Structure 1
Amino acid sequence: MSTILEIDFAQPPGFRPLSLDLRTPSAADAAPVVVFLHGGGWLRGSRKVFTPGIGAAESFDRIVAAGFAVASCEYRLSGEALFPAQLDDVAAALAWLHAHGAEHGVDASRLVLWGVSAGATLAALTGLGRDDVRGVVDWFGPTDLIALAQHDTGEPPAETREARWLGAPATEIPDAALRASPIAHVHAGSPPFHIAHGTDDEHVPFAQSASFARALRAAGVDVEFHPVDGGRHFWQGLDDTGPVFDRAIEFAARVTARVQPG
């Protein structure tokens, strides 16, 4: 069993308080921590839902059972604040974990970011811009917003999820779109990445992750890329999501392992 605490970690001026749910293993003692960022196109979603259709027992609890604390963090949605406010919110959550995690048995020096869909974009951008992240789990996240704008969603350009997040269609503000695109921030010192994407994803094209994985490898980054045959967005179409969770958990365990004295 895990302990769940609901914690207000930030109060952006003029906005609502932001909260996280902290799950810790029983008798946690310096547990590595997974910081989870939910999906929803930056315009909806909840920190309390890992992915639609997958319950807590198969997601949050599965990760905690593997020995991790999980901090499931909310961030301001695009109807509240535009990019890059969400990155500020993630940074505030990490600052809280560094300042207070030890009080709850959490070792914030062994931290993995795990995002799904829009949350994976935030996880990737955060990981690429910091030096205190051991690894990033990117599940079917948009990584190139200019290319994503070419994906026909049937919506007017100004009403797509990325346009609502950026404040205008990506093609109209390419500089901002690049700043919000993880693929534009890859560098040789990037943390390890675990990327998984369904080959039949109708919302975020599979090519987004394939291109990102190639860019990371070209920079010499430690990257695991797992195409999931027949998988759709949020792993719809999979009879058993256990294997995709287990591969990500194994990655998190590898990158957060304590360094043994030489």
Structure 2
Amino acid sequence: MTDGGPALRELIGAPHPDHAPLPPGTPREPGVRELRGIPYGNLEGSRPLELDLWLPETVQDEPLPLVLFVHGGAWRRGRRDDMGMRTRHWSPTPFARIAATGLAVACVDYRLSGEATFPAPLDDLHTALRWLTLRSAELGIDTARTVVWGESAGGHLASLLALSPSAPPVAGAVIWYGPSDLTAARGWFTPEDAATPEALLLGAAPSTAPQHARAASPLAQVRPGAPPFLLVHGEQDTMVACSHSQSLAAALKEAGSPVELWTVPGADHGWYGLPDAQVEEIFSRSLSFTRRLVT
């Protein structure tokens, strides 16, 4: 170390995400470029948190609206670039399809329940939105026009982000079959069971930590002035009861917040049981809702 210079410990570490160089955009599918594996958060004693960004291949004159996508996986597993089992074979991918319409898409990592308990994954989404805002000029995005879109456990976290009074406000939320209430028995879920994905998320059976479970329940966070929500849920969902979305829709409506509820007959979790054409319809309607809010 030279006098007045940085310590060796600071020099050998990777650059901080706030000012690290961005990877080059790579054309992957027609009309779309991708930036993969961008670190957005450094956690002491843990892996870096990363995101992938899909952008239209042609540089735009104006900053792009943003879709912030949050993956599912029972808060225990999952990949940031996975919109669910029924879209994995799509070519172009669902994210490339969104970007091709003139939106940016950021798919983010968050800490899973084997790494940290709630509110860690929600904190990570706050960090991602902060980083995207900080680097927005370089990325060519406008985070003031962000729609958060999540499926299953990601839908739960996306709902909490949209309802959070401490986060920068988002323009709306698209929630596919997301849990909204971790405090009460619904479907197969019982709050007394310490082995459920919900209990692993909280670090305890929800019944033994009622305040923590309430803080992690979007239903308990509904407030006047919440952004518009689109809630889509299968009526035959055997993993997350459809009543989660029905209750959240009713609470948002009572609070005077715009909400659209679409319950899908014949659909189990992850759109299992639906024909491909109906899954395409759900995606297209979700994308149309998003575009109405930000374009």
The CA deviation at 1:220 is 0.5
Question: After the TM superposition, which segments of 4 or more aligned residues of structure 1 sit over 2 Å from their partners?
Answer: 55-58, 149-156
Quick check: 1:27 aligned with 2:63? no
Decide whether aligned partners of structure 1 residues 28 and 210 sit closer, same or farther in structure 2, where only a CA change above 3 A counts: farther
Aligned to 2:148, which of 103, 113, 116?
113
> Structure with the greater relative contact order (CA < 8 A, sep ≥ 6): 1 or 2?
1
Tell me, yes or no, if the aligned pair for 2:182 and 2:217 is still in contact at 8 Å: yes
Tell me, yes or no, if the aligned pair for 1:38 and 1:118 is still in contact at 8 Å: yes
Give the greater-gyration-radius structure (CA): 2
Q: Which residue of 2 aligns with 1:83?
A: 118
CA distance in 2, matches of 1:155, 1:14: 31
Q: How many residues align?
A: 256
Amino acid at match of 1:3: R
For residues 20-99 of structure 1, the aligned pairs below 5 Å read: 20-29=51-60, 30-55=63-88, 57-99=92-134
Decide whether aligned partners of structure 1 residues 256 and 171 sit closer, same or farther in structure 2, where only a CA change above 3 A counts: same
For residues 116-155 of structure 1, the aligned pairs below 5 Å read: 116-129=151-164, 130-147=167-184, 149-152=185-188
Question: Percent identity, aligned pairs only?
Answer: 43
Q: Which residue of 2 aligns with 1:245?
A: 283
Tell me, yes or no, if the aligned pair for 1:28 and 1:104 is still in contact at 8 Å: no
1:156-180 deviations in Å (ceiling 9; x for gaps):
9111000000011111111100000
1:61-112 deviations in Å (ceiling 9; x for gaps):
2211222111000100000000001111001110111011221221212101
Quick check: 1:256 aligned with 2:294? yes
Tell me, yes or no, if the aligned pair for 2:76 and 2:113 is still in contact at 8 Å: yes
Quick check: 1:194 aligned with 2:230? yes
Higher mean C-alpha displacement, 209-218 vs 229-238:
229-238
For the aligned residue pairs, the C-alpha RMSD in angstroms reads 1.7
CA distance in 2, matches of 1:253, 1:209: 22
CA distance in 2, matches of 1:203, 1:176: 22
Q: Which residue of 1 aligns with 2:42?
A: 11
CA distance in 1, matches of 2:145, 2:270: 27
Tell me, yes or no, if the aligned pair for 2:56 and 2:102 is still in contact at 8 Å: yes
Tell me, yes or no, if the aligned pair for 1:28 and 1:106 is still in contact at 8 Å: no
1:200-254 deviations in Å (ceiling 9; x for gaps):
1110000000010000000110111111111111111121211111111111111
Amino acid at match of 1:34: V
Give SS of 1:157's match: coil
CA distance in 1, matches of 2:179, 2:191: 17
Decide whether aligned partners of structure 1 residues 146 and 68 sit closer, same or farther in structure 2, where only a CA change above 3 A counts: same
Amino acid at match of 2:179: P
Amino acid at match of 2:234: G
Tell me, yes or no, if the aligned pair for 1:102 and 1:108 is still in contact at 8 Å: no
Tell me, yes or no, if the aligned pair for 1:38 and 1:49 is still in contact at 8 Å: yes
Decide whether aligned partners of structure 1 residues 88 and 155 sit closer, same or farther in structure 2, where only a CA change above 3 A counts: closer
1:127-184 deviations in Å (ceiling 9; x for gaps):
111342000111110000112x453269991110000000111111111000000010
Show structure 1 runs of 5+ residues with no match: 258-262
CA distance in 1, matches of 2:192, 2:206: 13
Return the TM-score normalized by structure 2. 0.83
Give SS of 2:194's match: helix
For residues 166-185 of structure 1, the aligned pairs below 5 Å read: 166-185=202-221
